[in-house]
Structure 1
């Protein structure tokens, strides 16, 4: 029993390695540099260096194929969109050597393209933010006076590829638009970068939630749900602190959406609970492993192993029960960045300090006394990112310049 896990720097990949390694499955991992977070785990028996998929997608896939040819693996896992989408696109090619654990590319595209996701949700009656689907600047000019601000202007794709190099278009503060001038400015910027007009969506005030699933051809085998307690950027980003939660309406909506896709594998459906009408509104779908994966594992829903057991061993036992209130934290660097941002914005410094320095009863994405070395890998990765930002190779969001 042996698997290969790409994206060794990611805390999600570390969670996958720990999950499978504890089950006696031999883990190998890959990353674009040595001594990544996952490579330093005691559960990783061998590590490889391959070309950075953020710099050259083709060379990444070619190198990955050589690794898979040379070793015998039961399955190939990855965690970042920048690698998962190319792997899915090349699934037929890579499936010659191992089992790719993600759906075929046409299915992945339904979650990768936010326009397709929102249109499907509207067709099957799942609540979404009011969304404007526009194809030209001329159309935007015609509707700009009808739009109620604030709105969120976002690329249809979080990642697009140009000449084998990905361009990442994350949602940051600048995507929240409060007037017509801002609307045209950010729309033009996204159009120039992606070649496609963005989505314009109603801003939904309220907390963020995630419904995580494992399905076999649209049939639910496991689900889990979490509530975001903190995220970075504060305006909306990756969760840095979250807890297990259950809301029947959101779970049913998430399962209905993914079942309509005949989904085969894992995924995460993100909602906001609209504080104006208390109705969950669909935000997006990740057709891959998600950043808060360590929380579901800590709560007893071990998605990496359940996926392995389903796809490799052929077992399809269902597991849907878990305790609420389990908390998990991405301290380095996620929650540290939240703290620095929150304390600079918030007038109540004491409240921020009290929230941040509460440690009791909390699990951690990376930090573990039983597996301590990945923390060093995370710090190394943080320093590398910082140097890349200072040198201009990446921006503050981690996107290659």
Structure 2
């Protein structure tokens, strides 16, 4: 991973306390791109990686967003960074929001703010999917028709979801109209506007489609992986993923992204409805997902091709990647094992920890200190009630 040039191009990578930072760093440095990493944490996986050219401490984008933006504008005004990338929801949001102020100084390959907000809000995402014919679960909108009307029309069991939330936070299940009417007010009060969706049986496999689109919304890279295990076991964030070939899911993801006028990375979540065999869209994320490493290891180099796109080059176009590559998130997989009734029946076995086709989200043997940084941050987050719920959602 040594640079082949005395003055390699430089990238500013924000939010390197987040999981996607590691495959981004490894990908770019392998291609002789010098990476400056930035985080509000001095000790985290990205800051302890041995590959970044430089490290910067910045304000916390969640707790001090104004100070973070001020720092960022001052940093890119130096003219040292042809490209700026971000990991994590908040840093990506701030890049999109302030792109007009940053664009004269650095290239930011992220969707514009209006598209970002459409994806952040599940009600807008579901509406956009309906407009372009991408299948979704049946969806009702209490903000439009009121909860009394929705509770009478919905099918049961029904799923109550905040329009804006991370992972499974705020999601609840109602088995009757009365239960839905009871659950709605406290959920609406705590999380804001909500939608109601039909319940898709958990027997259906969950998939993620990752796509890279150019400035004309043409797909350059696309791949799919299956969420073999997730926590909570009834549906949540993945703990073990496997690359698979599902071109129809790539096409459905591309359809909604093109409809939105997409540019850059797109992450689309689907679940196959076992009642009709149709893959149905659950959400869209305009950022690197934490599990992107599984497709990078399979041969789809999203970070480097996104960098080339930002530099005005033509990204390599391919849909070829290795199948049956596995990515594991060990901390959550351990919790899954403790909570799941399928702990001894799961395939591949929970007890398979080593393999040439098996990678870990939180560390790598070629960059061992990243594991120290990851576990340090995880332990700190476990003593913070809010962050603990976010980690184990």
Alignment partner, residue 156 of structure 2: 149
- The C-alpha deviation readout for 1:46-99, integer Å capped at 9, x for no partner, is 222222222232222122222323461121111211221121011111223211
Q: Which residue of 2 aligns with 1:307?
A: 306
SS of the residue 1:351 aligns to: coil
Question: Does residue 57 of the first structure (1) align with residue 51 of the second (2)?
Answer: no
What TM-score do you get using the length of structure 1 for normalisation? 0.89
Pair 1:177 & 2:184 matched: no
Q: Is the 8 A contact 2:167 2:237 kept in 1?
A: no
Q: For residues 229 and 157 of structure 1, do their structure 2 counterparts lie closer, same or farther at Cα, with a shift above 3 Å needed?
A: same
1:284 alignment counterpart: 283
Aligned to 1:362: 358
> Secondary structure of 1:271's match?
strand
1:201 paired residue among 197, 200, 205: 197
Q: 2:208 aligned to 207, 210, 218, which one? A: 210
The aligned counterpart of 2:345 is 351
Q: What secondary structure does 1:153 align onto? A: strand
Q: What is the alpha-carbon distance in structure 2 between the residues aligned to residue 131 and residue 316 of structure 1?
A: 37
Q: How far apart are 1:273 and its partner, in Å?
A: 0.6
Partner of 1:396: 389
Equivalent residue number for residue 222 of structure 1: 221
User: Does residue 374 in structure 1 map to residue 373 in structure 2?
Assistant: no
Query: What CA deviation, in whole Å up to 9, does each residue of 1:127-161 have, x standing for no partner?
Result: 1100001226x721133133221122111122xxx
**Does 1:334 pair with 2:332?**
yes
Q: Deviations over 1:154-190 (max 9, x none)?
A: 11122xxxxxxxxxx5424852222334423442233
Deviation string, structure 1 residues 364-400 (Cα, Å, up to 9, x no partner): 22322111110000110111101223xxx6452259x
Question: Which residue, 12, 24, 28 being the options, matches 1:20?
Answer: 28
Q: Does 1:139 align with 2:137?
A: no
Report how far residue 200 of structure 1 moved: 0.4
Contact kept, 8 Å, 1:339 with 1:352, in 2: the verdict is no
Q: Taking structure 1 as reference, are residues 97 and 185 closer, same or farther at Cα in structure 2, changes over 3 Å only?
A: farther
CA distance in 1, matches of 2:147, 2:167: 21
Find the counterpart in structure 1 of residue 4 from structure 2.
none
Provide the rounded CA distance (Å) in 2 between the counterparts of 1:186 and 1:51. 37
Cα distance in 2 for residues equivalent to 1:47 and 1:349: 41
**TM-score by structure 2 length?**
0.90
Q: Measure how far apart 1:264 and its partner are.
A: 1.1
Is the CA contact 1:219–1:262 (under 8 Å) kept in the aligned structure 2?
no
CA contact (8 A) 2:269 2:281 kept: yes
Which position in structure 1 is the counterpart of 2:17? Answer: 9
Residue 32 (structure 1) aligned to one of 35, 40, 45: 40
Cα drift, residue 349 of structure 1: 5.2
**In 1, Cα distance between equivalents of 2:298 and 2:103:** 32
Question: Residues 27, 202 of structure 1: CA spacing in aligned structure 2 closer, same or farther, 3 A cutoff?
Answer: same
Q: 1:181 to 1:377 in 2, by over 3 A?
A: farther
- CA positional deviation for 1:212: 0.8
Secondary structure of the 1:244 match is strand
How far is the alpha carbon of 1:260 from its aligned partner?
1.6
Distance in 2, Cα, partners of 1:259 & 1:39? 35
What secondary structure does 1:356 align onto? coil
User: In terms of mean alpha carbon deviation, does 253-262 or 58-67 score higher?
Assistant: 58-67
The CA deviation string for residues 219-276 of structure 1, in whole angstroms up to 9 with x for no partner, is 1111011111111222222211111111232122111111122211111111101111
1:22–1:43 CA contact under 8 A, matched in 2: no
Cα displacement (A) at 1:22: 1.2
1:85 aligned residue: 93
Instruction: Flag the 1:109–1:349 CA change in 2: closer, same or farther, 3 A.
Output: closer
Decide whether the 8 Å contact of 1:65 with 1:94 is kept in 2.
Answer: yes
Gaps of 5+ in 2: 1-8
My pick for the range that moved more, 146-155 or 10-19, is: 146-155
Distance 2:363 2:23 in 1: 11
Give 5+ residue unaligned stretches, structure 1: 159-168
